[in-house]
Amino acid sequence: MFNKAKQILSNREIVLKIIITFALLLVFKAGTYIPIPLIDTNSVRNMISDNSFLTVLNAFSGGGLSNFSILALGISPYITASIVIQMLQMVIPKFREWGEEGENGKQKLNRFTRYTTVVISLIQGLLIIFSLGSKPDNILTSSVLQYNNIYWLIYIYMAIVITAGSAFTMWLADLITRHGIGNGSSMIISAGIISSIPSMFVTLSNKYLGAQFSGLNLFFFILIVVLYVAMILGVVYFEGAVRKVPVQYANRQAGQQGSDIPIKLNSANVIPVIFASTILSIPLTIIGVLGLSTETSNVAYWLNQVFSNQEPIGIALYVILIVFFSFFYSFMQVDPEKIADNLEKQGAFIPGYRPGEETKQQLSKMLFRITLIGATYLTILALVPIIVAKSFGFTAQESSKITIGGTSLIIIVGVAIETFRQIETASETKNYRGFLD
């Protein structure tokens, strides 16, 4: 391990990339503390902690949403746009054609993704602002409340600022991708989540080791920390788990080694959890925009029961959506028919199965079984924060800061593994070129 670190740090090019990455991440983090003018950030912070979907967005933005900063949405609109464009390639022939054109087609898709990001940022910003500010005095500072007859113009102005912030974040991500290390958008999300970890431990300390300190509370504190470490180890194991499907080639002589097709246990990554949270949040956002209360409106009450992942019916629907999207996205990422066709063209086959339809069926069965395990893992990981919050009696504000499990750990672990691999590969490549020179 020390030799690896020494090898990496002795490479000036890699060290420069690491420095550039950290510098750009500091710029992003600084932006999350610059509030949008005319906003009462304390009121906004309290309302966000009561909304599970906004809590997820806040984690992805590195706390930018709770501060209602100019980078309130962070990179999340770009991630959403990328997923949408990727799924549209399945149904729109033109997008599918661009995806098969190589680098030129990739540039066209990237350009369209950026345009989509701007539109999503504007819509998402407006929805969040109007849902939180169904009454102007909910989020506006006292200095502008006298203009509440045109508050909707102020809201539109805020949405435009948020959209500009998302475009700026997208530009920072591009700089990290080109001049830094790893995928820029993933690095920004991870940095935002990691920056919230100290706040989590401060909240835990205040709750269990502060004025209410006792032997039982000390036990609860240690138990939660141990659970958090166990979740990290579990995510590391499952994110690295791969099922290797053996492949042999008909034109190779006996005794020659074949190859394999690696299929990740969690091919869908965090996409199912994000999609499930987004779908559940739509009706609750509409309730906020209309200014309805669960205490005074029966419609709002039942919508909250069905779509809130803090209620039994909402939790059941949450699980169903996660499982559905896990299978949908996994079969989209790993297409058994396409793999079977490619194997047949290359003169390859899975031992014991004939090329073509039989290979496709076998791959489909394997992928189904693997995805079933992966969907179960994702479901457990998504439910752990809810179960822990209810078991330990966390308040809404405490739950927004104490996140045991969920999508955050998957993103952090996945990005850490991928970044280490990229740095290691770059280091070895540089050394190999030096040897030739």
| Domain at 137, CATH number | 1.10.3370.10
* DSSP state letter for 301: H
CA distance 10 to 18: 13
CA distance 299 to 305: 10
CA distance 348 to 358: 13
Contact 373, 265 (CB under 8 A): yes
Contact 398, 408 (CB under 8 A): no
CA distance 68 to 73: 9
Residue 220: exposure state from Cβ atoms within 10 A (0-12, 13-18, ≥19):
middle
Q: Return the closest-CA partner of residue 79 out of 186, 223, 204, 227.
A: 186
Q: Return the closest-CA partner of residue 204 out of 56, 5, 403, 40.
A: 403
- Phi-psi category of 274—alpha, beta or left, where left has phi over 0 and alpha has psi -120 to 50? alpha
Q: Is residue 228 part of a domain?
A: no
What are the beta bridge partners of residue 262? Answer: 244
Q: Is residue 380 part of a domain?
A: no
CA distance 32 to 131: 21
Block mean pLDDT (10 aa), the chain, length 437: 67 84 90 82 66 66 78 85 81 80 82 90 84 63 64 82 91 88 81 80 83 82 87 84 82 60 82 80 73 72 79 87 88 83 82 82 89 89 82 72 69 78 68 47
Q: Is residue 265 part of a domain?
A: no
pTM of the model: 0.77
Q: Is residue 436 part of a domain?
A: no
DSSP 114-139: HHHHHHHHHHHHHHHHHHHTSSHHHH
Residues of the domain holding 92: 21-195
Q: Is residue 153 part of a domain?
A: yes
pLDDT of residue 145: 60
Grouping H, G, I as helix, E, B as strand and the rest as coil, residue 247 is strand
Q: Is residue 68 part of a domain?
A: yes
CA distance 166 to 234: 33
**Helix 76-88 / helix 271-290 crossing angle, nearest 10 deg:** 110
What's the chain's length in residues?
437
CA distance 181 to 190: 13
What are the beta bridge partners of residue 264? Answer: 242
Q: Is residue 79 part of a domain?
A: yes
Contact 304, 286 (CB under 8 A): no
- Count of domains forming the chain: 1
Q: Is residue 381 part of a domain?
A: no
Q: Return the closest-CA partner of residue 173 out of 83, 110, 127, 235.
A: 110
* DSSP state letter for 348: E
* Token pair 């995806």 in the structure block, residue: 99
pLDDT of residue 167: 92
* Token pair 């991708």 in the structure block, residue: 177
DSSP-derived pairing of the beta strands 242-249 and 259-264 = antiparallel
* Token pair 């909250």 in the structure block, residue: 304
CA distance 253 to 218: 65
